[in-house]
Structure 1
Amino acid sequence: MDNDAAIRQAARWICDADGLLVTAGAGMGVDSGLPDFRGADGFWRTYPALRHYGYSFEDMANPSGFASNPSLSWGFYGHRLALYRATVPHAGFGILCAWASVMKQGAFVFTSNVDGQFQKAGFDAERIVECHGTIHRLQCVDACTDETWPADDFSPIVDEASCLLENEMPMCPYCNGLARPNILMFGDWNWVDGNAERQKSRLSKWLKSVKRLVVVEIGAGRALPTVRRFSECHGPRVIRINPREYWIPPDKGLGISGGASGVIELLDNAKKRMGT
């Protein structure tokens, strides 16, 4: 199926649906100006200091750094926190919200992104699953408690030349030890997953209420296939949007080549031509 035919079929599915499940990977944020960490070069373009140190994304997204070099780990995550706070979600988010507003059961989001962009764009925070956690909440490095708390009071100051945090690091209010983002990292045995599990429970309940589900998957790659696998579990009407890795088994859905904002706009225009 070529792209034009796929867009027409996908628009028909969206028009017919009574519930929208948005599943999203890192590619969802690229059109908002967020960096693409695909490969070492993409990562190092954003963090040239880490090229100098020889650190990869996998090295930095690792809880061991908070023990060996906490100022560098918090420099990396603090920069990301400030960036995500300043980012304005692209127009595609609003279009998805508009589609959901006329569906009987509305929308739910399942995302591996930790940036909080769906909440900022107006999606109901109670209808979002952040399967890898969120940078906007903190937890104890040693997981002394199952509690997490908002990062609102932490305003990181980062020296971009060295990627080191210059102000005080956030501390755990329960044990006075170091705090870290409530994000699932590589080799992470101390991630506090209670919030994500509660989110998944709400999603499971919502799915039971939907009779004609459509899944719009955006920017989810094969390198970490959590989102892709989740989408395919909820076929057969999965619309996979991806500039390169858009293939999907035909019994699960259809693939559309392109970026998030552009394809969502094409789908919206196709819907309007159908009179919905």
Structure 2
Amino acid sequence: MRKENDEARKICWLRNAIETADAVLIGAGAGLSASAGIAYSGERFEKLFPDFIKAYHFPDMYSAGFYPYDTPEEHWGYWSRYIYHNRYEEHDRGPYETLLKLVGHRDYFVITTNVDHQFQLSGFDKKRLFYTQGDYGLWQCSKPCCDKTWDNEAAVKRMVAEQRNRRVPSWLVPRCPVCGAPIMMNLRCDNTFVQDKGWYAAHSRYEDFIRRHKNMKLLFLELGVGGNTPVIIKYPFWRMAAANPKASYACINLGEAVCPQDIAKQSVCIDGDIGKVLMEVKNCSGMDIEAV
């Protein structure tokens, strides 16, 4: 009973924090998309890539993405399918849509390491989003010869439709329209990552949001951020919360909901499925926390 009361108190604490904050800064990682069913291993991977699994015994989508395929035709046979299913295919975006209902009427901004574009597809304002690590929907030159990126939706969908035996036709293998070099994904994996004009504009808006709310009642809402790249979201959120006594910090993460001791009094950590927790927060009546 005590555990149930403690969880209910945390849920209502977060609902009140959202409603009373001057602004909400959301930091989202892979756990949020995982809660929406976008899994990169297990049953979903086996259903989408049975031919690649049979040929190479891959354990998950990530491993298959880094494999050095013998030909560009097979490389894009895999990657076109990967991009399509994780970027363009319709998904149950329940956790994202619930989050938007919670913060859509507030002054909010989102910084995310996710590259699957689910925030924008769920209705979030494009000018309130900063995708730090790239986008499955963008290509760049592999050299790179310039700081440009290109939308890939039409090309990817055609690759998926035309591929046979794990390969796309040679005439569909993409090349840089500027220099003719091979095209690659616009994903941050090494120092060739292109930060285009859109990236810099989003970064500027993110910095401006932080600057405008520096000493205000700001809620740092961290969702599904793991330990792979903590310097992008987790550590900065902890540091900014510690520097602002008016701020509050909330972390929702399945199995990884923690915060430093120095911000514990202004924080709440909820260990659970993000989509389910957000729905509970949405349905919270805003009752007096002390009465729970």
3-state SS, counterpart of residue 154 of structure 2: coil
The residue type paired with residue 141 of structure 1 is S
2:154 aligned residue? 153
Question: Alpha carbons of 1:248 and 1:136: their partners in 2 closer, same or farther (altered >3 Å)?
Answer: same
Is the CA contact 1:114–1:130 (under 8 Å) kept in the aligned structure 2?
yes
2:245 aligned residue? none
Question: Alpha carbons of 1:42 and 1:189: their partners in 2 closer, same or farther (altered >3 Å)?
Answer: farther
Distance between the aligned counterparts of 1:94 and 1:144, measured in 2?
38
Using the aligned pairs only, state the percent identity.
Answer: 23
Q: Does 1:238 align with 2:243?
A: no
The residue type paired with residue 270 of structure 2 is I
Distance between the aligned counterparts of 2:217 and 2:167, measured in 1?
49
Is the CA contact 2:36–2:95 (under 8 Å) kept in the aligned structure 1?
no
3-state SS, counterpart of residue 157 of structure 1: helix
Distance between the aligned counterparts of 2:134 and 2:199, measured in 1?
6
Deviation at 1:73, TM superposition (A): 3.2
Is the CA contact 2:39–2:45 (under 8 Å) kept in the aligned structure 1?
no
1:257 aligned residue? 271
Distance between the aligned counterparts of 1:78 and 1:227, measured in 2?
29
Which TM-score applies when normalising by structure 2?
0.78
Question: Alpha carbons of 1:100 and 1:181: their partners in 2 closer, same or farther (altered >3 Å)?
Answer: same
- What are the ranges of 5 or more consecutive residues in structure 2 without an aligned counterpart? 243-247
2:282 aligned residue? 268
Distance between the aligned counterparts of 2:240 and 2:49, measured in 1?
37
RMSD across aligned positions (CA): 2.9
Distance between the aligned counterparts of 1:75 and 1:248, measured in 2?
42
Q: Does 1:82 align with 2:61?
A: no
More helix by share: 2
Which TM-score applies when normalising by structure 1?
0.82
- Which stretch shifts more, 220-229 or 19-28? 220-229
Is the CA contact 2:112–2:132 (under 8 Å) kept in the aligned structure 1?
yes
Question: Alpha carbons of 1:58 and 1:29: their partners in 2 closer, same or farther (altered >3 Å)?
Answer: closer
Distance between the aligned counterparts of 2:228 and 2:54, measured in 1?
21
Query: Which of residues 216, 220, 223 in structure 2 aligns to 1:215?
Result: 220
Query: Which of residues 203, 207, 220 in structure 1 aligns to 2:206?
Result: 203
Query: Which of residues 11, 29, 43 in structure 2 aligns to 1:7?
Result: 11
Deviation at 1:100, TM superposition (A): 2.7
Query: Which of residues 6, 20, 24 in structure 2 aligns to 1:20?
Result: 24
Distance between the aligned counterparts of 1:214 and 1:170, measured in 2?
43
The residue type paired with residue 238 of structure 1 is Y
The residue type paired with residue 80 of structure 1 is Y
- What are the ranges of 5 or more consecutive residues in structure 1 without an aligned counterpart? none
Question: Alpha carbons of 1:161 and 1:214: their partners in 2 closer, same or farther (altered >3 Å)?
Answer: farther
1:71 aligned residue? 73
Question: Alpha carbons of 1:69 and 1:215: their partners in 2 closer, same or farther (altered >3 Å)?
Answer: farther
The residue type paired with residue 122 of structure 1 is G
3-state SS, counterpart of residue 205 of structure 2: helix
Corresponding pairs, count: 265
Deviation at 1:115, TM superposition (A): 0.5
Is the CA contact 2:251–2:268 (under 8 Å) kept in the aligned structure 1?
yes
Residues 43-102 of structure 1 deviation map (CA, whole Å, 9 limit, x = unaligned): 96464524742556565455x948x64334323321122112113352232232233333
Is the CA contact 1:133–1:182 (under 8 Å) kept in the aligned structure 2?
yes
1:138 aligned residue? 139
Q: Does 1:228 align with 2:229?
A: no
Deviation at 1:148, TM superposition (A): 0.9
Residues 81-140 of structure 1 deviation map (CA, whole Å, 9 limit, x = unaligned): 21121133522322322333332xx21111111111101111111221111100111111
The residue type paired with residue 125 of structure 1 is K
Distance between the aligned counterparts of 1:204 and 1:12, measured in 2?
26
